[in-house]
Structure formats: structure tokens, C-alpha cells
Amino acid sequence: MNKPETYPVKISVENRQVKLEPVPRLFVDRGDTIEWTCDFPFAIHFPGITPLGKGRIRPKEGKTISTAVRNDAQPGCYKYFVAVYFDGNIWTDDPDFIVKPPKR
């Protein structure tokens, strides 16, 4: 089994749109960590089944949400919502990420 990786995602608001860098869609394995960072108040929400420990997440302190993909997560595409409070408005986006099938 490969060593779990961490995928940093920087969230910002540009031209009245939420921007995710370095890419809007990640391809992750079970056990990998996704680390969302934003300079403004933000939250992540999975409207259905989540491959993470929780479906609604916001930073407890600071500007980062760091959470691992569950070891029992099913392979597939997981859509989620990002909400960012910036300049007196709430900006949203609905990106997704792919949990890859386990390697045999």
C-alpha cells in the first residue's frame, strides 16, 4: 500500500467566483488527506454520502480544514459545496473529487 498523500486546496474569491487551486477536481485514494485553506470564513458541506468523517465541516480555529478520506470510502465521484463569506456576501461553488478504486 502506498503512503497516504496530502492534497492542499487553496480557496479564494476572484471576480465574484469561488476559485480552487491548484485544480478544481482531485483524484484521491482512501487514507489520503484533503486540506482546504481560505483566508476568509468558509465551510464545506457534502449533501449526501461523504467519503470523509463528517458531512459538514468548518474550521475549528484558523483558516484550514484538514480531513482524511475514510478507509472504507467507496470509489466514485463526490460532489460537495464550498461557501465563503467575503466582502459582505456568501460565495458558493459545487466542486467534486474522485475517490479512486483501491489498488490490488
pLDDT at 1: 57
- Give the integer Cα–Cα distance in Å for 34 and 12: 16
Q: At 33, give phi and psi (nearest 5°).
A: -115, 135
Q: Identify the structural domains of the chain with CATH numbers, from first to last.
A: 6-99 (2.60.40.420)
Burial state string for 62-98 with b = 16 or more CB within 10 A and e = fewer than 16: eeebebbbeeebeeeebebebbbebeeeebebebebe
How confident is the prediction along the chain (104 residues), in pLDDT tens digits per residue? Answer: 578 999 999 999 999 999 999 987 999 999 999 999 999 999 999 998 999 999 999 998 889 999 999 999 999 999 999 999 999 999 999 999 999 998 87
